[in-house]
Structure 1
Amino acid sequence: HPDTAARAIGAGLRALHDALPVDDCPFSWGVADRTARLSPDARARVGDVPAVDRLVVCHGDPCAPNTLLDDGGRWTAHVDLDALGVADRWADLAVASYSLEWNYGDGHEPAFFEGYGIAPDAGRIAFYRHLWDLG
């Protein structure tokens, strides 16, 4: 049930973003830190960074398989948190919604954004997907 999973992934990411204290997180997943790890060629192709919408503790690898669901299709946990760090929430939202296509096929992004409780932001999504692809 891809839409059920997409909605739960969105809800789980929202729970993570709302629960973890930004000021207590010693790690960064922000644009400056991520681009510093890119090759000079890739760094030159990053483009204009959008203004931060909301700083949160991001998962860092919010692809669909890194959210665990129970038998009823509800979010229960996150795994693979080695890239966790403070960043704009769109760094996670763009990649999590991107991964739905890889894992479930087209058409499930509306359920994801409904589960998170936000309307898609095309500009931020495009930027953070591009940054993901460069990395």
Structure 2
Amino acid sequence: MSNSTPPGRCPTTPLLPHVWHQRLAGGRIEAQAIGASRADVFRAHGGDGPDVFLKREPADDPFGELQDEVARLRWLRGQGVEAAQVLDTHDDASGRWLLMRAVPGRDLASSPDLAPLQVVHLVADALQVLHKLPIDTCPFDHRLPHRLAAARARMDAGAVDADDFDDARAGQPVSQVFAALMASVPAQADLVVTHGDACLPNLMAAQGCFTGFIDCGRLGVADRHQDLALAARSIASNLGEQWVAPFFARYGTVPDPAALAFYCLLDEFF
């Protein structure tokens, strides 16, 4: 489900928090439509300084990820990994807000100057760096007991969009997909620090070099197939199935097909 554009989901220009008016004075605010996040996303061009991104989500959203993203971005940059820089946060009557410095370049799903082989190498190399971080220093636990509980909670609350299921599950009721998920839980886990939504739109590059991760609200300790599965699916969708094998070769692994399928199935709930 990640990184598709929900039907009718294009935020209007926001009423900016008063505390940021001077900071963003003279800038052009542009809504961003890509992404399945429940948050509204805007880019501010041409203000006093570099471009920045703003995110806003309702304060009463029980499944909001903005606070999670703030903590994870700060932690990730503290580990020396390139990611969006948090500039400020703010809560008001319209919701929770996050202000970030724009990561240089373009995302790997929309970089016309990069050949497919360059893209898969950038993804593989960036994930290798992330996955080499020691898990005992990561405070965010996204192992399966937590993620399956979150998936069930979203299902019970009616927050799973069955209309956005992958083609293989199109038309299936959410309860049926959840039953298939629970029936295919892997017996073992190869734990690393994962991005959690390692699709091409969430990795940035400029001049052929990786410049940072974005949309890190689901970063945490999980099986490496969490990232490998969504990266491979995104590569197949954006570049073609023939580029999945070079991705795994560059990363340096022979993945478990059952684990790849499971983590794509799990993603249907987020």
Q: Please, what TM-score do these two structures have when normalized by structure 1?
A: 0.86
Contact 1:9 1:115 in 2 (8 A): no
Residues 63-105 of structure 1: per-residue CA shift (max 9 Å, x gap): 0121122323x43322211110110111111111111122223
- 135, 146, 160: which one pairs with 1:22? 135
* 3-state SS in 1 of match to 2:141: coil
Map of 2:204 onto structure 1: 68
Structure with bigger RCO (C-alpha 8 Å, 6+ apart): 1
The structure 1 segments of at least 4 consecutive aligned residues displaced by more than 4 Å after TM superposition are none
Cross-structure match for 2:215: 80
RMSD: 1.8
Which residue of 2 is the match for residue 36 of structure 1? 149
For 1:120 and 1:70, the matched residues in 2 are separated by 29
Within 5 Å, which residues of 2 pair with 1:1-135?
1-18=115-132, 20-38=133-151, 39=155, 41=175, 42-46=177-181, 47-72=183-208, 74-135=209-270
Q: How far, CA to CA, are the matches of 1:82 and 1:110 in structure 2?
A: 28
Identify the structure with the greater strand proportion.
2
1:11 maps to amino acid:
D
Give 5+ residue unaligned stretches, structure 1. none
Q: 8 Å contact 2:225–2:255 — kept in the other structure?
A: no
The alignment's TM-score, normalised by the length of structure 2, stands at: 0.46
Of 61-70 and 44-53, deviating more is: 44-53
Structure 2 portions without partners, runs of 5+: 1-114, 157-174
